[in-house]
Structure formats: C-alpha cells, structure tokens
Chains A and B, each alone.
Chain A
Amino acid sequence: MNFWQRALKSITRRKGKSFILFLVVFVLGNVIAGAVAIQQSTANVERETKKKMGNVATVEMDYERFEKETADMSDEERYSEDFYPKTPSVDVYEQIGELSYIKYYDYSNTSGFETNKLKVYTPEDGSMGMGGNYFSLKGGNLTEPLDMREGLIKLVEGEGFTDKDINESTNAVLVSKEVAEANNLSVGDQLVWDIRSEVYMDSSEAEEDEETEDSGSTVVTFDYPVTIAGIFSVVKKDDSGQSDQSDSAQQSNQAWMLMDQINTFYASNNFVKEFNKVQMEKLWGESSEDGDDQQYYTPMFVLNSIDDVDAFRQEADALLPDYYKVVTNTDQYDEIAGGFNRLGVIANYIVIIASIAAMFIISLVVLLFLRDRKQELGIYLSLGESRGKVIGQIVIEVLLVSATALLVSLVTGNLLGGAVSNTLMQSDFMSPQVDNGMVYYGSLMSVDLNLNDVKDAYQVNFSVGYIITYLLLGLGTVLLSAVLPLLYILRLNPKKIMM
C-alpha cells in the first residue's frame, strides 16, 4: 500500500471530494481551454493568411508621421526646397537587398501612357473600360521580372529579356498575350507606341504633331519605337478556395487589377528612364537630367520567410532615411482582419486571468481538503513516512483528478471556444475598426483577400498546438496550485495532530 496505491484508493473511495475537485478544474479548464482554442486559432489564421498573402516588402513614406511632425511648421518652412524628405537612393535599396532575409529583390521605375491606335485589352463583355488606350509601363533590373519569378505572370512566347536588354539601353519590352492578340503582335515585332497625351499647357510649348482641342487643352502625340522580346500571360489565381461571400467590390477590384496587369508592358529600368525622359521633353518641353535622383523607384523585396518580417523590418528601417519605412504586404492583415487581432488579445487576457484565478481557487480547494485530512497525514508521518512521499500522494491525487478534468475540458472547452467564435463572427466585433486606406493594386504587394476569406479560414479545431498549449498550461496551473497546500504539509507537526 505505497503512496501511489493510497492515492488511487483515495481518489476512488472518496468520490465526493474527487468529484468536487474534478468539477472545479473542469469549469475553470473550460474557460482556459476556450480561450486557448481562440488564441491558437487566431494565431493560426493570421499565420496561414499571411502565408497566402506572401512575404513581400516595399518602402514607402510615412506620411502620417511626417504630417504629424510638420503640423506646426510655418508656411515659409513648408515651401522650402528641403521640406519634403528625400526619397531613398538606389544604393539604400541595394543595401537592404543584401540583407540575409532577402530571397531576391528588385526596384522598379514605372510609367504610363495613352496611345491612339495601339489597343488596350478590355473584357469582351464590355463590363469594363478605361475610356482610352491607357497602358502601364513597369521597369526592372532583372532579366526575369520579379512578377514572373513570383508567379504573377508567365512568359509564354519568346526568350524574354537578355542581359543586354537590362544593362544597356535597348527597346525590348514584354507584352501580354491579350494585348498582343488585340494588336496582332508577335515576338520580334518592332512597333511604335503612338503616344497621345492631353496636356494643359501653353500651345507654343508643344513641339510636333499637336492639336488644340476646344476645351483649351493640348493633345500631344509622338511615336516611341519598341521591340517585342516576349509575350506573357497573367497567371490567374485559383478562386476556388475563396469565399462565396466575397463582396462585389472585391470582385470588381480583382477584375480591374487583372485588366491593369494585362495592359502592362514590362521593360528594363533603363528603358523606362529613357522613355520618361522623352515623354517629359515631348509633353512639357523639359529635358530632365540623366540622373537616378530624378527617377522614382519602387523597391520590392521578396523575403525568405514570413517569420523574418519583424527582423527584416528592424534592420531595413535602420538603413532608410527619416520618414521612410518598410511596409510588408502582410501589414494589410491588420486592416482586413483587425477583429481577429482583438479577439486574440482578449483571449490572451482571458487565459492569463483565468489561469491566475484557477491557481487561487484550486489552491483553496486543495487546502480545504487537506485540512480535512490532517489526521490522515499525521498518521503517515507518525508511521515514519517521509514528507516527500506524503506530498507525492497529494500531488498524484490532485494531478490525476485534474488531468481527467483537463482532458474532458480539452474537448468541451474547444466546443465552447468554437461557439463563442461563431457568435462573434456573426456580430460586428470582427469588422476592422481602423481603415488606413492602404491598398495596393497590380503588384506583388496586392492582396486579394477580404474579411470573409479570413473568417472562412478561421477554424477552432484540435490542433497539436492547442492540445499541447492547453495541457501544459492546465497542468502547470494545477501544479502551481499545489504549492500552497504542500507548504501546509511541510509545516505539519505529527505530535500536535496525534496527541
């Protein structure tokens, strides 16, 4: 009849007290398990959603901070040349690109233009149109553009860019399959972009092929020769996993993004720089200096893992000039699913508070039971049993009953967490409260997810993380709860009890 056997007999033969302890741990366990389930699920949905969003970062100006810190400046200061912070140089982007968290990166010079005859792609059903032949032009430093590496587009014809196209000034461009078909273009074709632009300027400043419209604006036209180095197709994302509840605004956004992507020409940064220079001269009669500081580049950094985001942000921010910051596409998660973050925070608080409360309540219950068993404990000590084994018996009893209660509440608490989550999903609680308005279209930074997608991905289930976290937390709480009662046993004086 060693202390193990005594513990088992005590549990099974003192059913009432075992049941009370079971009930206390079960009730508290449900609260903790429910909160842990929600906590794990919010963390999981965040991680999974961010994985889907990708691990891309860019650099942008922190307008909010800039406006806040310059709010008190005088008009004189505001009109000074160095009022606005200088954009980061290409060198900075290259330094950031060398950080160990980066899988690959590029910085892109962009432009846009309207043509007379070169036709843009619009959906056949005529549901969308831009009212003109508006194209985007996207530069880069890679022979395989970043959008291609990341699976946004796929080269379907031609060899694409060569090193010469990227490093020297050639007029090679990549065109989408749809635009190529609409204009009967093939790889190797040389064509001219018949640029047309309506500008509001003094007509005397316009150079060639210009006409003045009735509105007072001036239409400037000029030709720009290009060679088709390849034809790409836009990789359409699989929407089968998307929520049926996706709102029409999101569907419309996606359609616009797709159309914009199709109507984009890819070229080298050198090409875009040269094009911008020519366009500036043709439209405004100004010749720009041939320097990088006149160009605006958008960097894109593809990270090795989303786990690197925080570390990368910290190191990259240190390299950037003041008022510029790193923005990752996963930052948009907070804007889309801010409610889940709040739910996770609340669940965290509940776990902490419920664990502390459970510790005190279980301590008290065990202590009361021990006071009831003082005589029994005195008998063991008078028989020469070590205090360690007496403590061992009590710990085994508490742990066995508690572990049973925890295992049952592992299931019921999960159901509770699921029920609470479902109720919250149907309320306004999950809606984002802060709208920073930062939405990216037509780039690697764009995210075609909405709150309903995140809601669909949110699942309270029996993940390994949930089971391990809850059982460790539960058993840890119960063990800590036993500390106070164990001190009581250490202080027991068998003479006072027995005689």
Chain B
Amino acid sequence: MTLLETKAVDYYYQDGDQRRYILKETSVAFEKGRFYAILGQSGSGKTTFLSLISALDSPKTGEILFEGTDIEKIGHENYRRDDISIIFQSYNLIPYLSAVENVLVPMSITKNKLPDNQQEVAYNLLDYIGITKEKANRLVNQLSGGEQQRVAIARALATNVDIILADEPTGNLDEAMEQEIIDIFKDLAHVHNKCVIVVTHANEIAQQADEVLYLRKGVLSSHE
C-alpha cells in the first residue's frame, strides 16, 4: 500500500529567462515495510528530492501525497511534526542536551499519541539502537560520531511515525559503523514495518536496500 507518493514533481531555479531543472516530472511511490535507497552523484538532486518529501521545501509544480493527501494541505509543519522523521548526515543533535533529552525533544513536539512514560520509552529506544543508559545520560558532544548517529536514529523513532528519511546517514562513519546503521534501517523496515528512504551515494546501502532509485539529470528511475 502506497504511503508516500510524488506526482510529476518539478523543481527548478529560474536563471534569467531560463529554468535550470533539478528535478523534472518526478513521480514515485513509497510503501510501508520497505527500505529504499536513492542514489545519485553529487549535484544530481538527491538532497533537493529529500527536502521536498520532508516538507522542508515545496515543489514548483506537481504534488506530494501522504496517505493520499497533498502535504501542502496537511501543512508542512504538521507533516514534519507528526508524519515523518529525518536523519541528517551531520546528526544535528542539540549540543547542550543529553542523548535521552535529545530523544525526548520530538516527543514533546509531536501531536501523535505516545505512551505516558516517555522517559522510559526514550531509554528503550536508545537501548534498541545500542546506546546504554549510562551513555544516554551524557551530553551528546561527549559521544562518538557513530553513537551520535544512533541517537539521531533513536530521535527519529521517538514520535512513532511510519516514514524515516535519511540524508547520507553513514557519510561520517567508518565501515563497521556503517553496516550497523544499515542493519538498523533494515530492521526498522522489515521488523517494525517502517518506510525507510535513504538518500546516499554509498553503494553498500544500495546493495542492501529493497529498492534502489537512481537520480540522473533530474530524472528519477529504477534503472541504473
């Protein structure tokens, strides 16, 4: 069943009289329980595509539907708050908060129904992605890069949304850590029935994804 869908999405920059297309006529559908990898070279429009489906920007034409409803109608802020989670390459954690406090932040923002014992849930999420309670209480800048990315993943899971979006999530990690993160994504998709969409240029992720989409010259296709 389609969870997220783009329909004839165009994105371009106006350069005088000319339009410089980043994405052109992009139509694609994403389903629950699957792990997607979007591959492309630098400047191919991967990040722009991610910013559109994460409602950090709006397409020039076309529409993006979440469960059949245009996200413009849902409202970008509402959509980001209650329907998706984003994981960034540079983790983007709040530096003066501990790991567990970082996980608690989106819980206080979302309108989704969550269990009352949020602190316990946050610790459990961190435990699930391999962060011990002792480390969970540390300020995030006292954790390693891999640990910080795990905290970022735990934060993405905190609001119990169906779509997890990730932008180069293993870009700053070594190979061993990269595989651990990929395993978590696979687990989220296959065990926890999430729709995981990862934008990357790493072949290791592409090889293990359920579906790989290639972005070339603004056109998205399932063929390399």
A residues near B (Cβ < 8 Å) are: 1-3, 5-6, 9-10, 13-14, 375-376, 378-380, 382-386, 494-495, 498-499
Q: How far is the CA of A380 from the CA of B81 in the complex (A)?
A: 10
**B58 and chain A: residue at smallest CB distance:** A495
B94 with A495: CB separation less than 8 A: no
> Secondary structure of the A side of the interface?
helix
CB of B95 within 8 A of chain A? yes
Q: Which of B16-24, B98-106, B129-137, B169-177 contacts A (4 or more CB under 8 A)?
A: B98-106
**A382 is contacted by which of B82, B86, B93, B104 (Cβ under 8 Å)?**
B86
List chain B positions with a Cβ less than 8 A from chain A: 47, 50-51, 54, 56-57, 77-82, 86, 88, 92-97, 101, 104-110, 139, 167
Chain A min CB distance to B193 (Å): 22
Bound together, the chains give a CA A149 to CA B139 distance in angstroms of: 78
24 A-B contacts, Cβ less than 8 Å apart? A1-B104, A2-B108, A3-B108, A6-B94, A13-B96, A375-B92, A379-B93, A379-B94, A382-B54, A382-B56, A382-B80, A383-B106, A383-B109, A384-B79, A384-B82, A384-B109, A384-B110, A385-B109, A495-B51, A498-B88, A498-B92, A499-B51, A499-B56, A499-B88
Say yes or no: A10-B92 contact (C-beta < 8 A), given A1-B104, A382-B80. Answer: no
B89 shortest CB reach to chain A, Å: 9
Bound-state CA distance A384–B55 (Å) is 10
Q: Residues of A contacting B82 with CB < 8 Å?
A: 384
Structural contact, B92 and A379, CB atoms closer than 8 A: yes
Per a CB cutoff under 8 Å, which of B47, B51, B80 touches A384?
Answer: B80
List 6 tightest A-B contacts by C-beta distance, closest first.
Answer: A384-B81, A384-B80, A495-B56, A1-B104, A13-B96, A2-B108
Identity of the chain A residue whose Cβ is nearest the Cβ of B96 in the assembled complex: A13
Taken together as a complex, chains A and B put the C-alpha atoms of A3 and B97 apart, in Å, by 13
The answer for the CA separation of A499 and B94 in the assembled complex, in Å, is 16
Asked whether A1 lies within 8 Å of B108 as measured between CB atoms, the reply is yes
Given contacts A2-B108, A384-B109, A499-B56, is CB(A376)–CB(B94) below 8 Å?
yes
A382 cross-chain contacts in B, Cβ below 8 A: 54, 56, 80, 86, 92
CB-defined contacts of A385 to chain B, threshold 8 Å? 81, 109
Shortest distance from the beta carbon of B187 to any chain A beta carbon, whole Å: 23
Q: How far is the CA of A499 from the CA of B81 in the complex (A)?
A: 18
For residue A10, give the distance in angstroms from its CB to the closest CB of chain B. 6
CB distance from A310 to the nearest CB of B (A): 55
Shortest Cβ gap from A434 to chain B (Å)? 60
Report the bound CA distance from A1 to B104 in whole Å.
6
The answer for the CA separation of A2 and B101 in the assembled complex, in Å, is 10
Interface centre among A13, A375, A498 (most CB of B within 10 A): A498
B107: which A residues are within 8 A, CB to CB?
Answer: 1
- Please name 4 further chain A to chain B contacts, defined as beta carbons within 8 Å, in addition to the given A380-B109, A499-B47, sorted by A numbering: A1-B105, A375-B92, A382-B80, A385-B109
Q: How far is the CB of B39 from chain A (nearest CB, A)?
A: 17
Residues of B within 8 A of A378 (CB): 92
- State the CA gap A495–B80 with chains docked (Å): 12
In contact, A383 and B56 (Cβ under 8 angstroms): no
Q: Smallest CB–CB gap between B94 and chain A, Å?
A: 6
Complex Cα gap A1–B180 (Å): 28
Closest to A12 in B: B96
Q: Return the contact of A14 from the options B54, B57, B96, B108 (Cβ within 8 A).
A: B96
Residues A376 and B77 in contact in the complex (CB < 8 Å), given A384-B82, A495-B51, A498-B56: no
Closest-by-CB residue of A relative to B105 is A1
Q: A382-B86, A498-B56 are in contact. Are A10 and B96 (CB under 8 A)?
A: yes
Looking at the assembled complex, report how far the CB atom of B191 sits from the nearest CB atom of chain A, in whole angstroms: 25
> In the complex, A10→B101 CA distance in Å?
12
Q: Which residues of B contact A1 (CB under 8 A)?
A: 97, 101, 104-105, 107-108
A384 and B96 within 8 A (CB): no
CA distance A1 to B96 in the complex (A): 12
Q: Which of B78, B81, B96 sits near A383, CB closer than 8 Å?
A: B81
